[in-house]
Structure 1
Amino acid sequence: MRFKLILLILLFINLWSKPALACGNFYGHNLQGEIVFSPDIYLSATMLSFDKDWLWSQKKELEEKIKRKPQNFQFKSDLSLVLMQLGMTDSALSILRPLIKLYPTEYNVVANLGTAFELKGKLDSALILIRKGYELNPLSHRGSEWIHIKILEAKIKAKRSNPTWMQRNAIITMEELEQRLGEGELKAEQVNLDFNYQIRTRVPFTPAPNAVLSNLFETLGDFNEKYGTYEQALLAYAYSMKFSSNPNYNENIRRKIKNLNRQLHENKGEHDLSPEFHSMLIRSEVDPMLLVLGLDDYADHLDSIYLRNQSFDSLKIAKMQLDSIAKAVEEKDRLADEKIRNQENHSYLYLLGGLALGLLVGILVRQLAKRKAQ
């Protein structure tokens, strides 16, 4: 029993010490009234900025590791990322520029230098490196770096042509997204997950207002209106307005929200919206901008649901792992008992065999003694 208790404690320490990207899943409704699986689209308070206290502790820890092992390039690459998250991009570049010469095909070094160049506004250099990183490791960032490439291409277009380019053009067009769906390898929910990952990793670097994030959210709204759920389309449009500072642009998003609600009402299917989304529907019909005011509260609501589910899932995983270990221990005990029984059985056989042999020898000795006596 004590052994099981120790295992359970170790399992919980292992489960709770692992960082998790808060990305839950639930069932929403498409505009035809069907219930559809959909990843959550939201940004809670913890996603909007970096944990500076934790980053400073990481910086100190990595610097100590580098002192002990100055030839370890992995520690240096990790330190460069921490420095970028702390806003010390020049310091990060002073680490990464020498590293890229020594490790030109090391994905983390290539991708980190690309990010550093992007933060410094060196977009052409950033694009070259992010493309190279995607070639080296297309599965990095859960396979979503194709969006990062499209973002850099769009930022270069805006820089060269017109600063308002992103308010008039989509960074990623619906045609491009439909082509990805047409390949048969990616489903609608995977596109949502790719957008979510890229948006959430970008948000702490780029607080609102931000034209890139506003543009991505608008595309995400359009995509979910056609291929996803009403709920996610509504949230995406609301976030698009949250990250925009342009009244004309926001007016266009308002029209999209009104059109989304009109399609919902015109549909004859049953839309059993959750109480939270029913409330958001009413607010969006009064004034779409009211949605923006309630986004933070709604994100906290979704985050609390995710954390409760994570806690429940962690308990289930821990129990399953503990049961598995307990069964392994029981099997080991059973095999040990079986081995002991076999040994005991063998011992009995050896004993009986020895007695029989001894009796036979005794009889032979007596027979020989009788013959001698005669």
Structure 2
Amino acid sequence: MLGTLALGVADPAQACINAIGTDHQGRHFPLHEEVGERLAERLTSNSAKAFYVGSARTIIADAKATPDLERLTKLAILLIYQGQHAQSARLLLSIERRWPGHHETAANLGTALELAGHDAPALAWIRLGIRRNPAEHFLSEWLHVRILESKLASVNDPTRLTRQSIAGVQFGDATVPPLPTSRPAGNDGRPVSTYALNHAFAYQLGERMQFVAPRDPVVANLLSDWAALNMAGGPMENVVALYALARRYGADTEVMARREAEANRVLKAARGNQRLGGRCSICEPSDP
């Protein structure tokens, strides 16, 4: 995510959803997560922001009446959603001094600092949050580290964010790419599974897109890779939806257009049939 908003949005993979997806061979399969347009709607919604801003009066009153760790953390999150990033960072630093060692504080501070334009200290706090809690944000916070590293590296190389995969995955130019055999290191330093990679894209983008409006090369880069991952082993509905979002954020390549056209072709051919037996290779934690 853009940052790790403790006490924020629940893990999207835990939602009670039953849907039907279509693999790149046109076969249907069940899955328990948003697919296609519903996925796009979740990514572009601001439900967490609406909750915090709508509860602002209560959050502020509670923090004044009982300025404990939980209530002050909620206030810091509210300040982030209100766009008061520097003020939130100052509050989180005071929370760290008063109640040191909490992974939520480190991760939230990384968020506030990045939004305030301070990527280097943000990276330090995000890394500290992972050290404090190796399972930080459902094991997806390694992707936030890579985002900040890429942003810092792009300061002297502005085209880096359009040339290199932020997530560290390669799909080549094939219309239907293979699943990546070389995958980035997760929170624990070991290569993530394709399921964990899929989950990291879902979680981190679900948070980041609440704060980052089009056009943005980081979000475009992540959406493009996530769409390619779905082309390799996920629902074609997601390929279409994610590439459409990637285009809104500034991505536009020949490979992307070719994959998008193929996904649409498969979906059109599969429409109305009852052909089952498909498999989503990235939707279940089955590989090591």
By the TM > 0.5 criterion, same fold?
yes
Match of 1:232 in 2: 238
Partner SS state of residue 101, structure 2: coil
Q: 1:77, 1:109 within 8 Å by CA — same for their partners in 2?
A: yes
Cα 1:37–1:166 change in 2 (3 A) is: farther
Partner of 2:52: 55
Deviations 1:257-306 (A, max 9, x none): 235567x49xxxx963469xxxxxxxxxxxxxxxxxxxxxxxxxxxxxxx
| Correspondent of 1:215 among 221, 236, 240 | 221
CA shift at 1:252, angstroms?
A: 4.8
Secondary structure at 1:31 match in 2: coil
Quote the Cα distance in structure 1 between the aligned partners of 2:208 and 2:214: 11
2:211 aligned partner, one-letter code? F
Aligned-residue sequence identity (percent) comes to 25
1:195 aligns with 2:201: yes
Q: Which residue of 2 aligns with 1:12?
A: none
User: Partners of 1:274 and 1:196 in 2: how far apart?
Assistant: 28
Instruction: Classify the secondary structure of the residue corresponding to 2:108.
Output: helix
Check whether the contact 2:11–2:203 (CA below 8 A) recurs between aligned residues.
Answer: no
User: What residue number does 1:253 align with?
Assistant: 256
Structure showing greater radius of gyration is 1
RMSD over aligned CA atoms reads 3.5
Q: For this pair of structures, how many residues does the alignment match?
A: 248
Q: Give the CA deviation at 1:89.
A: 1.0
Give the one of 20, 30, 43 matched to 1:27.
20
Check whether the contact 1:103–1:109 (CA below 8 A) recurs between aligned residues. no
- Aligned counterpart for 1:100 among listed residues 92, 96, 102: 96
**TM-score with structure 1 setting the length:** 0.57
Corresponding position of 1:242: 248
Shift of 1:241: 0.8
Question: Which whole-Å CA distance do the structure 2 matches of 1:133 and 1:63 have between them?
Answer: 26
For 1:308, the equivalent position in structure 2 comes to: none
- Give the Cα separation in 1 of the matches to 2:158 and 2:200: 26
Matched residue, 2:176: none
SS of the aligned residue for 1:208 comes to coil
Secondary structure at the aligned position of 1:27 is classed as strand
Identify the residue that residue 65 of structure 2 maps to in structure 1: 68
**Structure-2 residue corresponding to 1:148:** 144
| Residue 190 (structure 1) shift | 4.2
* Higher fraction of helix: 1
| Change in 2 beyond 3 A, CA 1:187/1:162 | closer
Which of 124, 127, 134 is 1:131 aligned to?
A: 127
Which of 72, 84, 90 is matched with 1:88 structurally? 84
Alignment of 1:158-169 (within 5 A): 158-159=154-155, 161-169=156-164
Higher relative contact order (CA 8 A, sep 6+): 2
CA contact (8 A) 2:63 2:75 kept: no
Alpha carbons of structure 1 residues 78 and 149: separation in structure 2 relative to 1, 3 Å:
same
Cα distance between partner residues in 2 of 1:259 and 1:57? 43
- SS at 1:174 equivalent: coil
| TM superposition score normalised by structure 2 | 0.72
